[in-house]
Amino acid sequence: MRLYMFYFVGLLFIQCDMPYKGKHTEEKSVNKEVLNPSENFGLVIHGGAGTILKKNMTDSLEQAYRDKLEEATKAGHTILSNGGTSMQAVTAAINIMEDSPLFNAGKGAVFTHKGTNELDASVMDGKTLNAGAISGVTTVKNPINLAVAVMNKSEHVMLSAQGAEQFAKEQGLKIVDPQYFYTERRYKSLQKIIEKEKTELDHDTKVSFMDPFIKDSKYGTVGCVALDKYGNLAAGTSTGGMTNKRYNRIGDAPIIGAGTYANNASCAVSSTGWGEYFIRGMVAHDIAAMMEYKEITLQEAAHTVIQEKLTKLGGTGGIVSIDRQGNVAMEFNTAGMYRAHMNAAGDLDIKIYKND
């Protein structure tokens, strides 16, 4: 019962989240709220960071990315504008990117060393600190929806592999044949990396992030953070992980605090980058903690964590984030990051390169 109910006056708003069970029973009382919606809302999305350079991009490919970022941002914005929750906006925006082969999530997921596609995702609700995460699923069309189902319909926060898939089936989520995730582009990336490994004994890990479209390394992953009219934050992240990943590796995307974090006391964050460093740096939670405990702005906290702490650790990537005042930060230490922001007034800002 911490920060909810801060706007009062009239109007009864029935929250659209699914009913809570188990871990959530103490929060049942927040399902009905008397609200006076604010006109301050907004969302930010990302579609991955990396060595994304104009010189390696064709006009048509760049336009395809811009179009899809716009579509995803507008889908989330429409929900927020119509009084939907930040979690609904996050899910809708991510679904559009998951369904596109352009991004390393859902349909466009990269291949593991074995030639399979193993997907990870997580979500967090800033009002209740409720969270859901899944790792290593191979048959779930929209992993972010499964993360939401784990959050709302299970007693757990994180499910994995076959167990997560069984839960997805029981919840009636859209199941696809693993072949659905086959895209020629991603399969060629895998072959190229395996070929490179054969000729380079001391190969650089970065080849695992090779993306032939941009002719350099890119960290896939899509994500969205949103602030709704009720002052509630939410964050979500979905990914196919690293091309050529082995040993059922789990990156930062399904790790609460690393890939995803949301807390109405501070901000909502979604990460994209070299997952190992984002876990070690606890990037998403560290930004929120710095902001809350040091009482600095979101922009200051995001800058310090990405440009100073993560960079010092040797990690690369970026984050998108938003706070309860609608301030946003889109911070990265790579050449580019697919990103877009839309505020309550409907101003849309789509960027790819560092100097956009």
Distances (CA, A) of 271 to 117, 127, 165, 229, 294: 20, 20, 24, 24, 21
Residues 89, 94, 100, 106, CA torsion sign: negative
Shorter beta-carbon distance to a second copy: residue 125 or 229: 125
Catalytic site residue 334?
Answer: no
Q: Which of 221, 260, 272, 304 is catalytic?
A: 221
Shorter beta-carbon distance to a second copy: residue 28 or 188: 28
Shorter beta-carbon distance to a second copy: residue 41 or 277: 277
**Closest distance of CB 335 from a second copy, Å:** 20
Residues that bind a second copy (CB under 8 A): 2, 22-23, 25-27, 124, 129-131, 133, 135-136, 154-164, 166-167, 205, 246-251, 255-258, 261, 274-277, 279-282, 285-286, 289-290, 293-294, 312-314
Rounded Cα distance between 179 and 181, Å, is: 5
Q: Which of 73, 45, 59 shows the shortest CA–CA distance to 348?
A: 73
Shorter beta-carbon distance to a second copy: residue 100 or 122: 122
**Closest distance of CB 97 from a second copy, Å:** 24
Which residues, other chains included, contact 344 with Cβ-Cβ below 8 Å and sequence gap of 6+? 39, 40, 41, 42, 81, 326
Shorter beta-carbon distance to a second copy: residue 84 or 254: 254
Tell me if 313 sits within 8 A of 331, measured CB to CB.
Answer: no
**Closest distance of CB 118 from a second copy, Å:** 9
**Closest distance of CB 29 from a second copy, Å:** 12
**Closest distance of CB 6 from a second copy, Å:** 17
Look at residue 316 and give its three-state secondary structure: coil
Task: Give me 165's structure tokens.
Answer: 């898939």
Tell me if 140 sits within 8 A of 127, measured CB to CB.
Answer: no
Q: Which are the catalytic amino acids?
A: 221
